Amino acid sequence: MKKLYIPLLSIFLWQSCSSDLLNTSPESIKQTDNFYKDEAQLEQGVNAVYGSLQYVGQYQLAMLAIGEIPSDNTYDEVPANDSFTYGELDFFTVQPNNSLLASTWKENYIGIQQANIVLNRIGNVSMSQSQKNIRTGEVKFLRALMYFNMVRIFGDIPLVTKESVNVNEYFGQGRTPAETVYTFIESELKDAITLLPETTAQKGRVTKGAALGMLGKVLVTRNKYSEALPYLKQVEGLNYSLLTDVTKIFDVTNKNNAEIIFDVQFTSGLNGNTEGSQAYQMFSPSGFSAGAKGHNLPTKEVYNTFAATDKRRDAYIGLTTNGVPYSKKLTKPTTAPADGGSNVVVLRLAEVYLLMAECYAKTNDPVNGNLYLNKIKNRAGLTSVTIADSTDLLDEIALERRKELIGEGHRWFDLVRTGKAIQVMTAHFQNTPGYGTAQIQPYNLLMPVPQNQINTDPAIKQNPGY
C-alpha cells in the first residue's frame, strides 16, 4: 500500500521554480524553515523522499522504460504515440528535448534535494537516537539509489549533497565526474548498512538487506566483483527466500513477499485513483485495454528464449489473441486505466543470487557460480548445469538475468556495464524486421542531458554526439 507518499514537502520546495536542479524560492524557504520542529514533521519529510520514487521520471515509468526499451528485451509497438518519446529510445534517435529524460533529471533531483533537507535537519529534531539512525539510513539509501540511476543514465552529473538554500550557489559548477559520483554512492550505502535494521514492520521501508544488495550491485557495475561478493553474501543470511511459485512474485495480492528486498509502492483505488501507476496503461499492447499506448512491450525474441518447460515464460509474459507479447508483471487496474496497483521491484533475491553467480564466475570460482545460477534455473523448472569455462558461464548467467528480470528495468544497463550493448543491439537490428534504419553508436551508451538543463546553466555541457 502506498502509505509512504506524503507530498507536502515536495510542494513547498518545488513550486515557482527557477531551476530543475536545485529549486528554491523565498516562500518555499520560509515554509521549510518553519517545518521539522518535531518527529511527526520529520517523518513527513522522509516520506516525501520515498514519494519521489513514484514520479513518472523515476520508478513509475522512466526506470522501466530506459532500462528496457533501448535493449533487445522490449520495443515500442506504436512509436508515434506520446510524440515519439519512447520510440526514440527504441531506435536510438533520442533528442535532448525528450520529455521522459527531462522528467528523469528533474524528478530525481527533486528527491535528492528532499533527502538533503532531511539529512541537514534531522540532527536538531527531538526523537530517539535509534529512530534517527534508521531514518538517516533510509534517506542515505534513497539518495544513493537516485544518484546510481542518474549516473548510469547520463554519466557525469552534478553531485549535490547539501541542502540548497540559495540555488545560485550551484550555477556554473557543471557536472561531477561519474567516478566521483560512484565513490559517493558507495560511501552512502556503507553508511546506510550500519544504520538500518534487518526487518521493519512497515512495508516499503528500506532495510539493511536493501543497502547490502544495492551496494553489491553498484560494485558489480564498477567491475569490483571480489569487493561486491561479501555484501551480497550477507543478504543471503537475512530473512529472504525465493518463492517456489513464480506466478506469486508479482501478484498484487502477494505484495512485499519474501523474495522482495526493496520495491516502490503503488495502490489502486486510493485518494480518487491518484495513488496508482500509469505503467500498465503505457506498457500494454495498443487496443489491449483502455488507453493502452503500446510502449515497452517484450520482444518476440526474448519470448522465444524461454523453453516451453520454463515456468517463467507464461508467468512473466502473456500473448494477445494476435500473438503480441505483453508483461504479466504488471496487473490490470480494476479502477481507472492509469491507476495500476503493481509495485515496481527495485531489488529481489533472485537478482542477488544472479549477481553472486556473476561474481563467482568473475573470480574463478565456477563451482559456486553454477550453484547460484542453478538456484534460479531450478526454481524455473529447468535442469541444473555444470559449466566450467568462465566465458560460457558468464554468458549463461547473462541469459538467465535477461529471462528472470524481463521488464524490471535491468537489461539495458546490463548490456552497457558488460560492454556488449553495441554488439548485441547491432545484431538485434540486423535480425529484427522494422529496424532497417536503426543504428547504435558508442555515444548512445549514455542518454543526452535534457536541453532545458543546459539552457538554465550553460556550465552543464551536453554529452558527446547529441
Please state, rounded to an integer, the average pLDDT across all residues of the chain. Answer: 92
Please enumerate in sequence order all residues whose Cβ is within 8 A of that of 330, keeping only pairs 6 or more positions apart, or say none: 250, 279, 280, 283, 284, 340, 342, 407
pLDDT tens by residue, 248-273:
999 999 999 999 999 999 999 998 98
Banded model confidence at residue 156, pLDDT cuts 50, 70, 90: very high
The single-letter code of the amino acid at 463 is N
Domains 1-196+423-459 and 200-265+348-418 share a fold: yes
Please enumerate in sequence order all residues whose Cβ is within 8 A of that of 140, keeping only pairs 6 or more positions apart, or say none: 115, 119, 188, 189, 191, 192, 195
Q: What do you get for the CA distance between the two ends of the chain, in Å?
A: 40
Look at residue 19 and tell me whether its pLDDT is greater than 80. no
Look at residue 7 and tell me whether its pLDDT is greater than 60. no
Alpha-carbon separation of residue 240 from 80, 208, 260, 344 (angstroms): 42, 12, 8, 18
Average pLDDT over residues 74-86: 95
What CA–CA distance (Å, rounded) separates 376 from 242?
A: 9
Average pLDDT over residues 5-33: 39
> Looking at the DSSP assignment, which residues form a beta bridge with residue 318?
326
What CA–CA distance (Å, rounded) separates 444 from 466?
A: 9
pLDDT score of 31 = 56
- 269 with 47: CB under 8 angstroms? no
Look at residue 25 and tell me whether its pLDDT is greater than 80. no
pLDDT score of 133 = 98
- 424 with 305: CB under 8 angstroms? no
Look at residue 18 and tell me whether its pLDDT is greater than 90. no
The C-alpha cell at 414 is 546490463
Residue with cell 550491485: 217
pLDDT tens by residue, 320-367:
999 999 999 999 999 999 999 999 999 999 999 999 999 999 999 999
Look at residue 5 and tell me whether its pLDDT is greater than 50. no
State in words which class domain 1-196+423-459 has. Answer: mainly alpha
CA 165 to chain centre: 29
Domain 200-265+348-418 fold: 1.25.40
pLDDT score of 15 = 31
pLDDT score of 13 = 36
Look at residue 10 and tell me whether its pLDDT is greater than 60. no
Look at residue 8 and tell me whether its pLDDT is greater than 90. no
The C-alpha cell at 228 is 561486491
Segment among 1-5, 224-228, 254-258, 275-279 with least mean pLDDT:
1-5
Q: So where are the chain's domains? A: 1-196+423-459, 200-265+348-418
- 206 with 196: CB under 8 angstroms? yes
Residue 318 exposed, middle or buried by CB count within 10 Å (0-12, 13-18, 19+): middle
Sign of the torsion formed by the C-alpha atoms of 39, 45, 46 and 48 = positive
Q: Tabulate helix, strand, coil % of the chain (nearest 5).
A: 50, 5, 45
pLDDT tens by residue, 422-439:
999 999 999 999 999 999
pLDDT score of 152 = 98
The C-alpha cell at 304 is 522465444
Q: Tell me which of 247 and 272 has the higher pLDDT.
A: 247
What CA–CA distance (Å, rounded) separates 297 from 287?
A: 13
pLDDT score of 164 = 80
| pTM score of the predicted model | 0.94
- 232 with 216: CB under 8 angstroms? yes
Banded model confidence at residue 165, pLDDT cuts 50, 70, 90: confident
pLDDT score of 32 = 63
Look at residue 28 and tell me whether its pLDDT is greater than 50. no
Average pLDDT over residues 179-199: 98
